[in-house]
Homo-oligomer: A and B are copies of this chain.
Amino acid sequence: MPTPYEKLIARSREIALISSTGSVIGWDQETYLPAKGVAYRAEQLSYLAGHAHKLGTAPEIGDWLLACETEQSGWPDEDERRGNIREWRRDYDRATKTPPDLVTEMARVSALAREAWTEARKKSDFPTFLPWLEKIIALSKRQADCWGWEKTPYNALLNAYEPGSNAADLKVLFADLRQTLVALLPAAQQKTQKINPAKLHGHYPVEAQQRFNHKVATAMGFDFDAGRIDTTTHPFCSGMGPSDCRLTTRYDETDFTSSLFGIMHEAGHGLYEQGLRDEAYGTPLGESVSLGIHESQSRLWENQVGRSRIFWEHWYPLAREVFSHLKYVTLDEFWMIINRVEPTFIRTESDEVTYNLHIILRFEMEQALIEGTLKPVDVPGAWNTRFKELFGLDVPSDTSGCLQDIHWSMGGFGYFPTYTLGNLNAAQLYRTALAKNKGLEAEIANGRYGTLLDWLRQNVHTHGRRYVPKDLMRHATGEPTNAKYFGEYLKAKFTT
Contacts and interface: CB of A to CB of B under 8 A. Distances in A.
Interface residues of A, number: 35
Contact of A47 (B17, B24, B40): B17
A235 interface: no
A21 B20 CA distance: 12
A221 interface: no
A249 to B, nearest CB: 16
A34 interface: yes
Among A14, A32, A48, A227, find the residue whose CB has the most chain B CB atoms closer than 10 A: A32
Contact of A28 (B17, B28, B34, B226): B28
Interface in A9-61: 14, 17-18, 20-21, 24-25, 28, 32-37, 39-41, 43-44, 47-48, 51
Contacts of A281: 40
Contact of A17 (B18, B33, B43, B230): B43
A141 to B, nearest CB: 34
Chain A at the B interface: SS class: helix
A242 B41 CA distance: 10
A168 to B, nearest CB: 42
Contacts of A51: 51
A240 to B, nearest CB: 8
A47 B34 contact: no
B24 A226 contact: no
A410 B334 CA distance: 59
Contacts of A28: 24, 28
Contacts of A227: 34
8 contacts: A17-B44, A21-B21, A21-B48, A34-B243, A35-B226, A37-B226, A39-B243, A40-B242
Given A32-B32, A40-B243, 6 more contacts: A24-B25, A32-B228, A36-B225, A37-B243, A39-B243, A41-B244
